[in-house]
Structures are given as C-alpha cells and as structure tokens.
Structure 1
Amino acid sequence: MKCWAKNVSPCCNTQSSEHYISKGLFSDKMLYVESAPFLGGTSKEIAKASLTRNCLCKRHNERLSIYDDEAIHYGESLKYCLELSLKRKNSNARKFSLHSRIINCDRLNRWIIKTYLGLAEFFKYESAIDKGELAKLVYSDTSIKHYLHLETTMEIQEDFQIKESVSIAPLEKNERTIGIQVELYGIRLNGIFSDKPEYIQSPIRVKFNEHKQGPSCVVKFK
C-alpha cells in the first residue's frame, strides 16, 4: 500500500489512483502536458484519465474530494469573471454592479498541500517541513489557514489568459522545498508551508478592473 497519509490515520486495504492535478479542472479528455517529470521531462498529449499515480489508499483519497471541489470552484469563478467582463465590454452603462465569488481559503490551502504531497518526490529538494506533518494538516479537523502563507504574484498590468491550464513549480530556499507556486487558469499563487501557526493571512482579492465604469467582478478568499 502506497499512501502519503499513512501516518495520519489507519489506511484501508484498497490502493487508490490519485490524479496528479484535480481532473475536474479540465473539461477535455485529452491534455497537453509539458515538461512533466513523471513523463521523463518530455511534453506530449495524454489522456486525462491516465494522469494518475498510486499514492493514497481509497479511504484517505475519498476524503479529499471536497478540496478538489474548492479548486474547481476557484477556476470556475475566474472563468465566470472573464465571461462577465466580455459580456460587459461594449456596455453603455454608467456603472456596473459588482459581482463577487467567494473562495474558502482553508479548503484551497489543503488542496495546495495535498497537490504538493502528490508531486513532492519529483522535486529536486526535500521538503523543509516534514511531509508527515503536512499530511496531518490536510486532514486536520481545525483550520490550517495560519500554517500556509498564500499570496498572489501577479504584476500590475501583467498580461495573462484565463483558460483551463495549470502549472506547478517548487518554491526553494537553502536547498529545501518550502512550498509551491500554482498557476491556475492564468493566476499565480505562492504557497509557503509551516509546521506551526505562524502566518497571519492577508485577504486576497482578484479584481477585474478593465472597464471605464469601474470594477466588474472580484474573487475573494475567505
């Protein structure tokens, strides 16, 4: 049995296949995967259903769907903002009503950590935080928002495209992996891990301000 959550609670006797990145983030059945270490660093088109690995037991894997759902909700929120923006592009309205979408930051934090744990063996450096402790955070019954420092890394007026693409890269310091960078649907987030509640999370807002009438939509992390 291969399960990165084996020290959190007892595993069951059934091996489960976990997607490298939540399959619900992509609507197509075939995906173009670029420079993937689990493909030997090559780039190729591959079936989404085959982008899995045995790294969790069935019992632990089934408890993660709520966090996959939150990442999908975040992606869908960004797409909603884009569609609303395009719809309003040629509007003659003097002012727009501001639409908002709420992201559960605690659930998204857990998704980021569990995604890292599924990919950790492919990164150059070992985790600065014991992976067993990170696994406990994923399954914790209490909030973990102070155990991960999450921030956007987008520059002002930086060009980006909101589309169904996801990239993952390690964040490194002193030859250790301290977190990961996730670029999901064009928006980059850095997540730095801790094994103690040391971070005070600043509220994150992704605003769509491209109209002369003012902001059109905002995605809020709470």
Structure 2
Amino acid sequence: MNSSEKSCLICDNPLYGRADKTTCSDACRVRLHRQRQNDALAEIQEDKMPLSSQRHTPLDLPWLTQGLPPARPATVQTRWEQEPENQEEAADRKRTSEVALAKEMHQHYVKVVEPFLQKEQQRLSAPQLRRMLRFSIDAYEDYKQHPHLAEEGSRAQKCQKDLRGIISLLQDTLQEAKDSWLSDTGRYELNTKWRKQLRDRLLG
C-alpha cells in the first residue's frame, strides 16, 4: 500500500473516497464509535477516583496537594481541655485533694501511736526501741505533707507535736536501755493527760 494512502482505523484496510473518511465500512464505523464511547467513559471514571488510588508522577504531587483542606486533629479535645476551669470547680478539686491527703497523713499517725500506746510500760529491748524510733521518724517526715499544718492550733499541728514527743521519749528510753548493763532493756510511761490525748486523736 502506498504510504500516502489512508487506512481504516479499525481493520487497517485502505480507504477510498472522501479525504476525511476514517473507516472502510459501516461495521467498522460502529466499532469505532463504541470504542470512543468506552474511552470517554473510562476518563470520566478515572476523574471520580480518589487521589490516593490514581497514578501520578512525582512532578504531579505538588499540584495535587494544593488547595486541600487541612487535616483534622488526631484526637478530639475534651470539654475540660477546651474550656478553662472556673474558680468553683478548681476549689472543689483542691478540697477533694486535701481531704485525701489528710486521711493518708492520719494513717501514718495511727501506725505510730497505736503500737506506742500498746507497748507502754513494757520492757523493750534496744533493737525493738530502735525499730520503733526509726518508724516514728519516718512517719514524722511524711506528716510534714499534711495540708493543714499551716493552720494555727489545728489538729494536724497537735498530731505532729505528738509525733515529736514520741520520738523524744523513744530516744530517752533507748538511751536507758543502752545504759542498763544488766537487762539491756528500757520502758516508758506516759502521763494520764497525754495518754488520753493520744487515744482521742487516734479517732481522727
């Protein structure tokens, strides 16, 4: 076939007649029409596909990202994070925290005072007294966290004073046990008023 001759777009047979002719027969013309319709439909479907499923070259990517809405945050803030806490809520939260801490500090007090009262007037060895003394000192240090210690005349201040008194008395009794070369023991005795105060404050 001469290179200047045109051929059918479907079957590649030579074309004769008009210069704008594209198919050699009605059958090829119908097939060409359907092929063009299918191609157009495929282009429309590709346009509707999400960006993530379309194929693009690296040069296309900057253009794809332009104009996109900002990404939503990964987490949603709660109402407490979005709205500032008002003064009443803050005060309630503080009171709740202080009550819990005060109860915890009272437990430290109880763990020292109860055995201290139980062992009154008993002959205690030096190792026993050392353990009681060490435990009392630890409780005294922990009790410094009590939220009401700054309140003059508060129960917390009185309990802290009790712990100091217990430490002082145990130190004296331990020294007595060390000085006793016969029994190596010591004992302590409380006055009636302090004993009653300790028992009352144990109740919280």
Is the structural similarity TM-score above 0.5? no
Higher-strand-fraction structure: 1
Over alpha carbons, which structure has the higher Rg? 2
TM-score by length of structure 1 reads 0.28
Asked which structure has the greater RCO (Cα within 8 Å, sep 6+), the reply is 1
